[in-house]
């Protein structure tokens, strides 16, 4: 396995550009970058431009991962660039993106089902709870669209890897992968997003490990507030996620898996990056919206929260308000990446999971 960082959230990503960000990752001692979508690095899908990025990554000895975009047709209008990539033809846009990625040897490609709406509160942040179209209808439309793309992916040797994004459960992801086909789909395991669906990260890892092909390695603070739970991102090792339990599960299923840290963005890059997410986990409508969640896992989840809060008290870990009051500019964002990387390396070392050394 190798340890890298998110290409959109590494500090100064927009300012430095893709090649500058690759150089930045290398300077931080990391092993690669995971760009959320190929359009982040080349809006025109320019073959020459993409080849330069590939060459830069190879020259630095870094892995290079890419993605496509949202594959839920009900969410696509919020990402008009996907349709624009095909000059108005969405399927053609995806084909062009997939071909551009395959041409530079990127065949594990991120996709997701919706966009998080931070302007709203509680469940209204998630398309899962839309009132104009049901989540079941959105999942069915997503499955149909993935099946349209499946022959293209099969021809190109591509996996479209669906993220454990904030709005979707791991149970639903497994069903999507098994329906569309694990030869063309997989899962991007975001280790902290699953908390927003009331899933225990370790239980989730066991459920999805056979299909995990990319990662967002992420951690967070979780505590009781306002009749539910409040979540706030933290550096890996300072939050609730038990990487010592999760990483051996993932490594056993996919020893060559890249571990990509998804860090909190610098407030210089995104002023509201330290926002708090409220999870209405005790609300009857929220509970009714998670029919796959078992009583056993729900209980384990809350036991995990209580254990973490005991750790918060014992180690004097900052609560949400105190942490949000800290400055979080470039230096702090870099420090959080470095702290997270140290933790992941230490976990891997203790578990006997060797991280591949970077070659240049």
List pLDDT tens digits, range 218-271.
999 999 999 999 999 999 999 999 999 999 999 999 999 999 999 999 999 998
Q: Are 34 and 57 in contact (CB under 8 A)?
A: no
Task: Indicate the pLDDT class of residue 206, thresholds 50, 70 and 90.
Answer: very high
Render 41-95 in DSSP notation, one character per residue.
Answer: T-TT--HHHHHHHHHHHHHHT-EEEEEEEE--TTTGGG-HHHHHTTTT-HHHHHH
Asked if the structure places residue 329 within a domain, the reply is yes
Terminal-residue alpha carbon distance, the chain: 17
Q: What is the percent of the chain where pLDDT is above 70? A: 99
Average model confidence (pLDDT) across the chain = 97
Asked if the structure places residue 360 within a domain, the reply is no
Q: Are 114 and 148 in contact (CB under 8 A)?
A: no
Task: Indicate the pLDDT class of residue 7, thresholds 50, 70 and 90.
Answer: very high
pLDDT at 360: 62
| Residue 155 belongs to domain with CATH number | 3.20.20.150
pLDDT at 359: 64
Place of tokens 């149970």: 171
Two tokens, residue 40 = 């982040």
pLDDT at 126: 97
For 187-199, what is the mean pLDDT?
Answer: 98
Task: Indicate the pLDDT class of residue 49, thresholds 50, 70 and 90.
Answer: very high
Buried b (16+ CB within 10 A) or exposed e, 293-305: beeebbeebbebb
For 33-56, what is the mean pLDDT?
Answer: 97
- The residue segments making up the domain with residue 131 are 2-350
Task: Indicate the pLDDT class of residue 272, thresholds 50, 70 and 90.
Answer: confident
For 330-357, what is the mean pLDDT?
Answer: 96
pLDDT at 147: 98
Q: What does DSSP say about strands 219-225 and 212-216: parallel, antiparallel, or unpaired?
A: unpaired
Asked if the structure places residue 358 within a domain, the reply is no
Two tokens, residue 350 = 């203790």
**Which residues are bridge partners to 65 per DSSP?**
34
Asked if the structure places residue 355 within a domain, the reply is no
- pLDDT above 90: residue 356: no
DSSP state of 106: -
| Number of neighbouring beta carbons within 10 Å of residue 183 | 12
Long-range contacts of the stretch 38-42 (C-beta < 8 A, 24+): 38/66, 38/67, 38/68, 38/97, 38/100, 38/101, 38/106, 39/69, 39/81, 39/85, 39/97, 40/7, 40/8, 41/7, 41/66, 42/100
Buried b (16+ CB within 10 A) or exposed e, 76-94: beeeeebbebeeeebeebb
Asked if the structure places residue 357 within a domain, the reply is no
- How far apart (Å, rounded) are the C-alpha atoms in residues 258 and 185? 17
- How far apart (Å, rounded) are the C-alpha atoms in residues 222 and 281? 12
**Helix extents (H) in 61-183:** 80-84, 90-103, 135-156, 170-180
Q: Are 200 and 301 in contact (CB under 8 A)?
A: yes
pTM across the whole model: 0.97
**Which residues are bridge partners to 111 per DSSP?**
162
* Residue 238: C-alpha distances to residues 62, 150, 188 (Å): 26, 39, 22
Asked if the structure places residue 35 within a domain, the reply is yes
List pLDDT tens digits, range 297-340.
999 999 999 999 999 999 999 999 999 999 999 999 999 999 99
Task: Indicate the pLDDT class of residue 95, thresholds 50, 70 and 90.
Answer: very high
The H-or-E segment that residue 10 falls in is none
Nearest to 208 by CA among 190, 233, 196: 190
pLDDT at 274: 81
- How far apart (Å, rounded) are the C-alpha atoms in residues 287 and 296? 14
Asked if the structure places residue 339 within a domain, the reply is yes
pLDDT at 194: 98
64 phi and psi, to 5 degrees? -130, 115
Those residues whose C-beta lies under 8 Å from the C-beta of residue 132, and which sit 6 or more positions away, are none
List pLDDT tens digits, range 174-183.
999 999 999 9
At residue 358, the 3 state secondary structure works out as coil
- How far apart (Å, rounded) are the C-alpha atoms in residues 259 and 236? 12
Place of tokens 């590494």: 10
List pLDDT tens digits, range 110-135.
999 999 999 999 999 999 999 999 99
- pLDDT above 90: residue 358: no
- What is the tally of structural domains in the chain? 1
For 75-87, what is the mean pLDDT?
Answer: 97
Length of the chain: 360
Asked if the structure places residue 254 within a domain, the reply is yes
């Amino acid at each position: 396995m190798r340890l890298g960082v998110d290409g959109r959230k590494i500090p100064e990503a927009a300012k430095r550009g893709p090649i500058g960000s690759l150089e930045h990752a290398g300077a931080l001692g990391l092993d690669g970058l995971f760009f959320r979508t190929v359009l982040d690095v080349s809006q025109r899908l320019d073959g020459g431009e993409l080849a330069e990025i590939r060459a830069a990554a190879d020259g630095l000895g870094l892995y290079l991962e890419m993605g496509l975009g949202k594959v839920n047709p009900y969410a696509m209008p919020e990402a008009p660039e996907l349709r624009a990539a095909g000059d108005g033809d969405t399927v053609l846009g995806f084909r062009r993106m997939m071909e551009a990625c395959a041409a530079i040897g990127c065949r594990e490609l991120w996709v997701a089902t919706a966009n998080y709406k931070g302007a709203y509160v509680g469940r209204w942040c998630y398309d899962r709870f839309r009132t104009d179209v049901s989540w079941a209808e959105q999942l069915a439309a997503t499955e149909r669209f993935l099946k349209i793309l499946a022959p293209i992916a099969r021809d190109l040797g591509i996996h479209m890897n669906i993220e454990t994004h904030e709005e979707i459960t791991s149970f639903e992801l497994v069903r999507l992968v098994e329906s569309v086909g694990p030869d063309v789909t997989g899962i991007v395991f975001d280790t902290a997003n699953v908390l927003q669906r009331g899933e225990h990260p370790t239980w989730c890892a066991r459920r999805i490990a056979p299909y995990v092909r990319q990662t967002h390695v992420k951690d967070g603070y979780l505590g009781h507030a306002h009749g539910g739970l409040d979540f706030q991102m933290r550096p890996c090792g300072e939050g609730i996620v038990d990487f010592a339990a999760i990483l051996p599960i993932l490594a056993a299923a996919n020893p060559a898996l890249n571990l990509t840290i998804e860090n909190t963005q610098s407030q210089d890059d995104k002023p509201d990056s330290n926002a708090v997410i409220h999870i209405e986990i005790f609300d009857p409508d929220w509970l009714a919206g998670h029919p796959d969640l078992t009583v056993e896992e729900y209980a384990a989840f809350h036991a995990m929260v209580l254990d973490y809060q005991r750790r918060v008290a014992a180690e004097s870990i900052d609560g949400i308000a105190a942490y949000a009051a800290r400055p979080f500019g470039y230096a702090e964002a870099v420090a959080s990446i470095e702290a997270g990387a140290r933790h992941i390396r230490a976990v891997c070392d203790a578990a006997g999971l060797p991280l591949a050394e970077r070659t240049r």
